[in-house]
Amino acid sequence: MTSPLDRFYQAIRDVPDFPEKGIVYKDITPLLHAPDLFVQATEKMTVGISSADVDKVLVIEARGFLFAGPVAKALDAGIVLARKAGKLPWKRRRVEYSLEYGTDAIEIHEDAVEPGERVLVVDDVLATGGTARAAAQIVEESGGRLAGFCFLIELAFLDGRSRLPDGPVNSLLTYPRVSG
């Protein structure tokens, strides 16, 4: 019998040489095509996270947005959108961060996180950790408290977890795949 975790792994498609040669992209769209799997995945992503410890979920553009509603509902929390620079319509707070090939930035509305609010950072994939670390930084610069991180997939071989500030990190699926 196939376990639920096996079904999640089976629903992730490997796309070789995307977006460039040598990269194996983890495509989550087959999981999204199966409503039962998507619902189960978002429920399992929050196992062990108490709604008492989270006031808001900060979700990272763009695929992270897909998890915003279900995760926020499971935790009875509000949603904060972290977008690429220049995409939000109102006053913004911005954090720039380094990439291997330059810099990038994320922004949130300046009133999205109130001082003292506990914020969980949510995204589809933890790779090198740069974007998630920037999200944690923007939470702290807003006066919020980092409640931790929640990902559908963690690419453990890129060691992004070690680049994150202290706090719980929940990843439903880990590559290379962890037995059990």
For residue 43, indicate whether it is catalytic.
no
Q: How far apart are CA 140 and CA 32, in angstroms?
A: 32
CB contact at 8 A, 30 and 8: no
Please tell me the distance from the alpha carbon of residue 26 to that of residue 10, in angstroms, as a whole number: 11
The residue annotated as part of the active site, out of 7, 63, 118, 145, is 63
Tokens of 23: 């990269």
In a 13 Å sphere around the CA of 126, the CA atoms on its Cβ side amount to 29
| CA 102 to chain centroid | 22
What's the CA gap between 10 and 88, in Å, rounded? 36
What tokens were used for 111? 């009133």
For residue 167, what are the CA distances in angstroms to 24, 120, 146? 28, 10, 7
63 is catalytic: yes
Pairing mode, strands 78-84 and 56-60: parallel
Q: Which residues are catalytic?
A: 63, 100
